[in-house]
Amino acid sequence: MTAGDLLAVLSGGLVGFALGLIGGGGSILAVPLLIYVVGVADPHVAIGTSALAVSANAFANLIQHARVGTVKWPCAATFAASGVVGALAGSTLGKLMDGQKLLALFALAMVAVGISMLRGRAGEGDPGVRLDLKMAPRLVGGGLAVGFLSGFFGIGGGFLIVPALLLGSGMPILNAVGSSLFSVGAFGLTTAANYAASGLVDWRIAALFVLGGVAGGWVGMRLAVGLAGQRGALSRVFAVVLFAVAAYVLYRSAGHLFA
């Protein structure tokens, strides 16, 4: 295994850990890691590869969360089904944009996500929540919007999906984290398929990312279950990481934003 391979596995482990712990952070971390740590030169290839790797990691983490009963399947499936439509439209538009400009916009999106995390998403929620006719339109609308943003920026969307699930259903945060992984996987797979059709996926690096992500995801999931009551503190810490990564990406690519 080369040094680059090891960096890909370790980067995948970090991404998997984030997905297992808070249901998000996958591609928001994966794209910068692929470009600046692993060394993927083309931003579009980085986005396509990260979408595939994050999708696989999300589904692996979904299985682990399902085993401990944190997934609300009817809500998760409704949100994901509408989100796939949005992700297809968003990823099609994203491929048409200049890669460096897309990275700069991506960094700005990271800042917005970090701010939303600092605002907190605490709350007990209703652990017995069930999908009904009143809830379904909120989940469908949220899925379309988040799916579009996920596809456009090539992100799994977990940091957007979790708040949208909380708003649309009123479920507890731990259930939103577990349920969000179904949408993260579905959105990522849709985006990855769209990019792969244009030859914008590095399959080898994606496989290495998944290898590390499965191990990291297991650790993150166990920690999420054990620290569910302290999610606010963990989200604030991760928001600081987001700001740091966003600042670095903006430093490297902001000149292209207004070009």
pLDDT at position 98 is 75
pLDDT at position 126 is 80
pLDDT at position 230 is 64
Per the structure, the count of domains in the chain is 1
pLDDT at position 23 is 76
**Which range among 1-10, 107-116, 150-159, 249-258 shows the weakest confidence by mean pLDDT?**
249-258
User: Tell me: the pLDDT tens digits for 19-66?
Assistant: 887 777 677 788 889 999 999 989 899 989 998 998 998 898 899 889
**In terms of residue numbers, what domain contains 112?**
3-256
Reduced to 3 states, what is the DSSP secondary structure of residue 85?
Answer: helix
Q: Is the pLDDT of residue 116 over 80?
A: no
Mean pLDDT of 80-95: 89
C-alpha to C-alpha distances, 147 to 24, 54, 159, 189, 204, nearest whole angstrom: 14, 15, 12, 12, 26
**Which range among 15-24, 72-81, 221-230 shows the weakest confidence by mean pLDDT?**
221-230
Contacts for 16 with CB less than 8 Å, ≥ 6 apart: 57, 60, 61, 212, 213, 214, 215, 216, 217, 218, 220
- The rounded distance, in Å, linking the Cα atoms of 171 and 43 is 36
pTM of the complete model: 0.77
Token pair listed for 214: 């499965």
Token pair listed for 14: 């970090």
Contacts for 216 with CB less than 8 Å, ≥ 6 apart: 12, 13, 14, 15, 16, 17, 18, 20
